Amino acid sequence: MKEPPKPLHAKVESAYHIIGKKWVNLIIHVLMEGPKRFNELNAIIPVLSKRMLNERLKELEEYDILKRHVIPERPVRTEYTLTEKGKELGDALFHVEAWGMKWF
């Protein structure tokens, strides 16, 4: 059975719920540059613990904001890349970043 569409306030609240989580915006910002492996993300954002990075990546994957790609080479590598939905969010967050750079 298909769910009825969410009312406007629920959609807006869902969007703020996602981007309001600590580290989400910075992870998206870094992935706007292109695909990154877990260790690359961890090196670029060293103040973010591996546990929290893993948690946020899983959440963003559940929201279809990023995709996790397993590359079956030796050793096995995993890369994270933004989906179209994630890229659009990154574009929107760019304006927030510009506002922050101007006013803070």
Question: pLDDT (tens digit, 0 to 9) for every residue of the chain, 104 residues total?
Answer: 677 777 778 888 989 999 999 999 999 999 999 999 999 999 999 999 999 999 999 999 999 999 999 999 888 899 999 999 999 999 999 999 999 999 99
CATH of the domain at 63: 1.10.10.10
Is the residue at 48 inside a domain?
yes
> What are 79-82's contacts with CB under 8 Å, separation 24+?
79/35, 79/36, 79/37, 80/31, 80/35, 80/36, 80/37, 80/38, 80/41, 81/31, 81/34, 81/35, 81/36, 82/28, 82/31, 82/32
**Which residue segment(s) compose the domain that 92 sits in?**
9-103
The reply to whether the predicted model has a pTM over 0.75 is yes
**Which candidate, 83, 87, 96, 89, places its Cα nearest to that of 18?**
89
Number of domains in the chain: 1
Please report whether residue 2 resides in a domain: no
